[in-house]
Structure 1
Amino acid sequence: MEEHGRHRESSQPHEHRRRRRSAKNPMDTIWFVVRTLLLVGILSGAMIAGIFMYYVKTTLTPTLDINADDYTMNLSSVIMYENSETGNWEELQMIYGDENRIWVDYDQIPDAMWQAAVAIEDERFFTHHGVDWLRTARATTNLFFRTSSTFGGSTITQQLLKNMTRDNDNTVNRKVREIFRALEFEKKYSKEEILELYLNHIFLGKKCYGVQTAAQFYFGKDVSELSAAECASIIAITNNPSLYGPMSTVTVTNKETGVKKTARDMNRDRQKDILWKMNKLGYFESEEAYQEALNEELQFTDGSVSAEELVAADNVEKSGGTSTGINSYFVDKVILDVSEDFAKQLGITTGAARRRLYNGGYTIYCTVDPHIQEIAESVYQERANLDVTSSSGQDLQSGITIVDPSTGNVKAMVGKVGTKQDNLGWNYAVGKRQCGSAIKPITVYAPALDAGVVTMASTFDDYPVRLLNDNPWPKNSPQGYKGWTTLSNGVANSVNTVAVQVIEKLGVKNSFDFATEKENLDLVADDINTAALGLGGLTYGVSTEEMAAAFAVFANGGVYNSPRLYTKMEDSNGNVILDNETETHVAVKETTAYFMNQLLQGVMNGGTASRYKLSGMTSAGKTGTTSDNKDRYFVGYTPYYAAAVWCGYDKPERISYSGNPAASMWQKVMQKIADEQENKSFTKPSSGLVKVTVCADSGLLATDACASDLRGSRVREVEVAAGTAPVEECSLHKFYDYCTEGKVLATPLCPAASVKPVALLDYTRVDYGPSIKADDDAYLIGSLQTKLEDGTVVIPPCPVHQDGVLPTDPDGEGETTVPEDGGDTGLAPPPKTEPGGSGSGGGTTSPTEPTLPTEPSEPSSGIDDWINNVWNTGN
């Protein structure tokens, strides 16, 4: 018992200790958790801080240094051009940008203007270092709790940087970047410099940028003459120009009271708030001065003078010129090209690069010929030169680019018909539009000739290639199908069937590679098909700048020069900032360029553009029309210049025009240029050409049969590149005996005096139905024969010589069968020919054609009438 008691006694303290320890456990746990959370928080904070500092160092720091000189208006840039007569560089134009701003220095700005800005936008402006941390904290709180719908934390410095750089993405990353930029910016610039920049950059409605432009536009006076009340009215606009602009037409109705207020009423309300805040901050000398400003009745202008006119007048005064302030389309494109190249070099946006260009005092050396630009503008400014209106009332529009083939330099560019109204507006010369068949020389004929797939001797059957959706394809409009035709005729008359056959021999991938790699056309992979590359149905189209440069290859002996509107840009110290060298490479062989010149001269000499041939100047070119006639195109060139023209409507509609309006505009411009130039021919290669006598139908070496075609000699002499001449003789023509009186294949009843050996085409076409015929069907042997039900081919009776019985015909049936291969008919062989004769092809002499009666002596059959008609037409 004692032992047991002792055991109990001795065990009591242990239990008490266990209870005491267990009583401490909750507090220990709490402290453990607190210490752990603190440690985790400290470590996380340190990690976040480290990550943030790494982000600042690697991502933010390179973007923090903002140089105000790149964005001010003090150093206007200038565009220079080379005088073609003296070779000297002369000033073409000063550029000020697309924002209507007249720069004014700080000492010309009344104190009331900056006081109004500081009072309403950033009252602690003079005490912070670029960031108002109190406002930033409040703005951050508002971001999460939405305590106000209008609260913002940006200081004047931050707003200025956002306005200058156009870096205004609504992201946390941008806001952090803006804060650090502001801190860095205020280390470099004084408060007065920042206010000067801010007041010259802010947008104040009605295309007014800066307080000087706004002062002149709204009050008709310089900013230095403004009163405190007028200054407050201008600063009131900044919050929302469409609501607070004195000349805005906006009306707002209070949902609770139903009271309507105009923009001028709201400007007045905000002006009062600004004046009150200015007085609170002690900017008025006295209460009387404040009340005087508060009660001043503002006298606004009537708005008859636009902000553009104000800026234009100021620019003229600075440059000593007489400009209207509206750039030419050429200058617009120079600004865009330089901005894009500058942006790539600096790793900034094109907008930021453009603002640097406007204000950095750069010198740009451009490629324009002012005289040629003036000629083009004079034609395009007159609506009468393209006085066409669509069914919906749209005016037909056009764009043109003129390029010097030897350099790639763009000499002129006009982007619309009519008087230019604005800067950096839409330019049809550089916009992508469909070009129709004008693409064929680039995607079909040039690459095929260069690869030796075709030659100038090649011929093609102008007839549907195949059925597409159960319809014969492709179609030719409007000429129908001619049958066997030469490459020259196919190009001159824009024959779709020829283009399709050529590109399918070449291969569409080879065509695409040539167009994009050799001619630098901006095409897409979806264009790799026959319809797009062979007929011009591109996915996005092409620009006139691209097309003029592509066709210039032919005038330049096969050498491609990328088009450019400027050669270089220098900074204010003469250092070259951008060197815009032309990309030059051999696109096609010299012989190919020579052949393309011949082919495209054919377009002007009897082809689809014959009515637009230049007077007194060698010219070549290619027309283009889309299938729905919503786009018309023409690219033409002389030995001096290549020019591409597009015509169409802003919203595509069918064009109703007698002829090709694009070719018409091209002729109007280029004829004026050509009138001042000496005519000359395109360059011919000194070697690499051979002449060959071929058949106009088969394209193979001419034979006696080719010279004895029913239509007359089909022999012609062509030039081809050395090593590409055909080596096989024509197998398309075969001799048959022909009755000159009956105008049918001769039968044994036809007397020898009436029989003439002629050659017909031994060729059979796919029958697509009676509506699909080729013009030369009448000269196919099958058309003069009759096929019986059992398949036997026989000669129809001669309509003239049907009486009598052949002495060698025991049956007395007066009928014989002609071999299908056109072999010996038992009649006299054709007359022999001598090479170098005086026939139409120059290589053979065709038999003398008999004098035929106008009408047959006896009634003729239907086939006879058909042949009679073809004979008379063909001769």
Structure 2
Amino acid sequence: DMVGGRDFGDMKFNLATQAKRQPGSTFKVFVLLAALEQGVSPYMTFNPNGTVVFDIFGSEPWEVSNYHNASFDVNEMPILEATVRSVNVVYSQLIMRIGAYGFAGLAMDMGIETQLNPYPAIGLGGLTIGVSPLEVCTAFSTLANYGVKNEPVAILKVVDKDGIVMEEHQPNSAQVLSSINAFRAIEIMQQVMLRGTGTNARLDDRQTAGKTGTTQEIENAWFTGFTTNLATSVWMGYPEENIEMDIVHDIRVVGGTHPAMIWNLFMTEATKDLPIENFERPQDDMINVQVVPNHETGEYMIPNRFTPEDQIIIKQYRYGQEPIEQMPIPEDAIPLMPMVALIPINEANHILIEAGYTNILYKNERFADVPSGYTHRQEPMWGQPVELIQKITIWVNP
């Protein structure tokens, strides 16, 4: 089924196939898949907090925050959990680790037809040109089909009045992703619907997997998901242009609210006569995993984000028998934030630069207890581990 607008008589523009809109966190699925294909373990951790800034060659620095600036009570979050909770700050670090070329190419192989320029921001849905719901649904159906892509088709055959087949569609399939890594991603996306951002979409009678997507200004909200036998993408937005939605029917619009509820209502009816099945683990279940030898125990562990690249090797395992314990992060890997409040701004700047922090924002804010040109507040606070990619904000009495 395809719904591309209210009334073709009023509007000849098909929103499902022709509208190109920003997909938000929907695109994290392609980052996850590319990471799995490269051997990155979903149990590798990143710090989910703060605003992080990355230097991009030939471009402006890339600044990333969590939705609504959400923070978490942990400083280490596995990729798996960051997928379930759709955490931008973790995913931005994963994107910088695996590179934009890998997941941009994979997304296009899976069914995204828009030409994707390999900028890191596209992994969080920041596209130069958006994507249509049909493209997104095609790519997710490739995942549901264990990495086998089928071209979307509307007309299967043309038959004349005598029942003679005049023309018939010839399926064109291609394996664009390993079936076992597709299955691993499906397992994680099931968690999205069981306990993460997609719980409103969950079906009561069968297994489902999916992903929410919301753009920063809430101009586009998505839920795309599938059962074993049907994939559906729901996009919500204004047809004319990007207009902020915010609150609709007393509920804030995000991918996990209205689009997820619409997906649930549609899929409840659409799957009524389809067989109830579980996602099946492929027979070929060998996976490549990036590991590092622990010289103290002699065992292999997964690297942490500070492990030097020349120490990482790739080993093959049967899925389920691979290491999932991460090498301990050395205590000195993350520097302690220095105290830079209540001192002259030049001195504060010198201390931060010496410590390796380069993403510093100074804000003027009156504060009578310190002289003009002195700092009086800092975020993050001093004395705690703060990574060098994090943005530092210092308030200065003008």
Which TM-score bucket, shorter chain as reference? Answer: 0.5 to 0.7
CA distance in 1, matches of 2:380, 2:158: 60
Q: 1:722 to 1:676 in 2, by over 3 A?
A: closer
Q: Is the 8 A contact 1:524 1:539 kept in 2?
A: no
Output the TM-score relative to the length of structure 2: 0.68
Cα shift readout 1:568-603 (whole Å, capped 9, x = no counterpart): 224567665543323211121111111111111121
TM-score, scaled relative to structure 1: 0.33
Q: Say whether 1:522 aligns with 2:108.
A: no
Is 2:177 aligned against 1:588? yes
SS in 2 for 1:455: coil
Structure 2 Cα separation of the partners of residues 515 and 555 of structure 1: 14
How much does 1:548 deviate?
A: 1.2
SS at structure 1 position matched to 2:34: helix
Q: Partners in 2 of 1:471 and 1:773 — Cα distance?
A: 24
Cα distance in 1, alignment partners of residues 193 and 244 from structure 2: 25
Instruction: Name structure 2 gaps, 5 residues minimum.
Output: 292-299, 303-315, 337-355, 361-377, 388-398
**Secondary structure in 1 aligned to 2:47?**
strand
CA distance in 2, matches of 1:589, 1:654: 38
Per-residue displacement from partner, 1:521-558 (whole Å, max 9, x unpaired)? Answer: 11225x32111x21112122111111112111222122
The one-letter code of the counterpart of 1:581 is Q
- Partner-residue secondary structure (3-state), 2:236: strand
SS in 2 for 1:514: helix
Q: Please give the secondary structure, in 2, of the residue aligned with 1:644.
A: strand
Amino acid paired to 2:76: W
Identical amino acids, percent of aligned pairs: 27
Q: Which residue of 1 aligns with 2:130?
A: 541
Identify which of 519, 540, 552 aligns with 2:141: 552
1:440 aligned residue: 28
Q: Deviations over 1:694-720 (max 9, x none)?
A: 9xxxxx839xxxxxxxxxxxxxxxx97
Q: Which residue does the alignment assign to 2:15?
A: 428
Q: 1:764 to 1:688 in 2, by over 3 A?
A: farther
Whole-angstrom CA distance in 2 between matches of 1:729 and 1:467: 24
Corresponding residue number in structure 2 for 1:493: 85
CA contact (8 A) 1:446 1:592 kept: yes
Q: What SS does structure 1 have at the residue aligned with 2:149?
A: strand
Q: Which has the higher strand share?
A: 2
Question: d(CA) in 2 for partners of 1:554 and 1:773?
Answer: 43
Change (3 A) 1:688 1:773: farther
Relative contact order, CA 8 A, sep 6+: which one is greater? Answer: 2
Partner of 1:466: helix, strand, or coil? strand
User: Which residue number in structure 1 is paired with residue 100 of structure 2?
Assistant: 508
Calculate the aligned-residue CA RMSD, in Å. Answer: 3.8
Structure 2 residue 253 is the aligned partner of structure 1 residue 656 = no
SS in 1 for 2:170: coil
Aligned pairs (5 A) from 1:795-834: none
Question: 5 Å matches for 1:35-54?
Answer: none
- State the alpha-carbon separation in 2 of the partners of residues 503 and 427 from structure 1: 33
Q: Does 2:6 match 1:414? A: no
Whole-angstrom distance in 2 between the partners of 1:542 and 1:602:
25
d(CA) in 1 for partners of 2:148 and 2:260?
25
- In structure 1, distance between residues paired with 2:380 and 2:22: 29
What is the Cα deviation at residue 625 of structure 1?
1.0
**Contact 2:33–2:181 under 8 Å retained in 1:** yes
CA deviation map 1:434-476 (0-9, x unaligned): 211112212x111221232x12332223244425799982111
Map 1:21-60 onto structure 2 (within 5 A): none
Pair 1:773–1:591, CA change in 2 (3 A): farther
1:682 aligns with 2:282: no
SS at match of 2:95: helix
Matched, 1:474 2:64: yes
Secondary structure of 1:413 counterpart = coil
Residues 1:556 and 1:565: Cα distance change in structure 2 (over 3 Å): same
Q: Which residue of 1 aligns with 2:310?
A: none
**Structure with more of its chain in helix, by fraction:** 1
Q: Distance in 1 between matches of 2:48 and 2:138?
A: 31
Q: CA deviation at 1:566?
A: 1.2
- AA paired with 1:667? N
Out of 330, 335, 353, the position equivalent to 1:764 is: 335
Aligned residue number for residue 643 of structure 1: 232
Which residue of structure 1 lines up, in the alignment, with residue 207 of structure 2? Answer: 618
Structure 1 residue aligned with 2:263, among 632, 650, 666? 666
Give the Cα separation in 2 of the matches to 1:606 and 1:487. 15
Following TM superposition, by how much is the alpha carbon of 1:433 offset from its aligned partner in structure 2, in angstroms?
A: 1.9
> How many Å separate the matches in 2 of 1:625 and 1:729?
31
State the Cα distance separating 1:609 from its structure 2 match. 1.4
Match of 1:458 among 19, 44, 69: 44
Structure 1 segment 304-343 matched on structure 2, within 5 A: none
In the TM superposition, residue 424 of structure 1 has moved relative to its aligned partner by 7.3
Contact 1:603 1:620 in 2 (8 A): yes
In 2, Cα distance between equivalents of 1:449 and 1:606: 22
Please state whether the residue corresponding to 1:605 is helix, strand or coil: helix
Q: Number of residue pairs matched?
A: 315
C-alpha contact (below 8 Å) 1:621/1:637 kept by paired residues: yes
2:291 aligned with 1:701, yes or no? no
Distance 1:576 1:503, change over 3 A: farther
CA distance in 1, matches of 2:381, 2:263: 36
From 149, 153, 164, the counterpart of 1:564: 153
